[in-house]
């Protein structure tokens, strides 16, 4: 047996495992990220293409949409309170985009934090958006993101 090769494989395996754990900690990977990995492994072992249940994610903060490493709706990339308050962004346009793209997961900041909620809650027709969430999505949990209370909704 070539002990040099065994040592090299062991060192590389340990290094890759360490990098994986560091990435997990640095990006605050969560059950959704780990769930995607387990779904990918499961589906590929069954001879299927890589399957993910959360293909399109929408949040009222563009940076969450970006860092989720998932597709979002177009408005999710440019969402801001001014558009919502002035009517340039409406519940109707968001709902149309969410339905057209089958947004599977919605993260909605409802209270607390700095800054306080000011994107979706500033929609002139917010009540229509909220009713859409309740009728189209299942409430999963509330997430405390450094004091920003965010609801997580999953499409039925």
pLDDT digits (tens, 9 = 90+) for 64-82: 766 666 677 778 777 878 8
Looking at the fold, whether 83 and 67 belong to one and the same domain comes out as yes
Could you read off the pLDDT of 123-147 as tens digits, one per residue? 999 999 999 999 999 998 898 878 8
Domain that holds residue 17: 1-50
Looking at the fold, whether 44 and 60 belong to one and the same domain comes out as no
| Cα(48)–Cα(65) distance, integer angstroms | 27
| Cα(15)–Cα(20) distance, integer angstroms | 9
Helix (H), strand (E) at residue 141: strand 137-145
Looking at the fold, whether 39 and 62 belong to one and the same domain comes out as no
Number of domains in the chain: 2
Looking at the fold, whether 10 and 60 belong to one and the same domain comes out as no
Pairing of strands 105-111, 137-145: unpaired
Note if the pTM is more than 0.75: no
């Amino acid at each position: 047996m070539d002990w040099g090769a065994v040592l090299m494989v062991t060192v590389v395996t340990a290094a890759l495992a360490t990098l994986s754990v560091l990435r997990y900690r640095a990006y605050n990977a969560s059950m959704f990220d780990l769930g995607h990995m387990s779904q990918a492994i499961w589906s590929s072992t069954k001879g299927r293409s890589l399957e993910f249940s959360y293909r399109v994610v929408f949040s009222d903060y563009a940076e969450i949409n970006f860092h989720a490493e998932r597709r979002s709706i177009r408005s999710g990339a440019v969402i801001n309170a001014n558009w919502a308050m002035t009517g340039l962004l409406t519940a109707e346009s968001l709902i149309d985009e969410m339905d057209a793209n089958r947004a599977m997961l919605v993260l909605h900041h409802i209270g607390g934090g700095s800054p306080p909620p000011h994107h979706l809650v500033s929609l002139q027709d917010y009540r229509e958006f909220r009713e859409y969430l309740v009728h189209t999505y299942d409430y999963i949990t509330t997430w405390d993101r450094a004091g920003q209370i965010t609801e997580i909704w999953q499409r039925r």
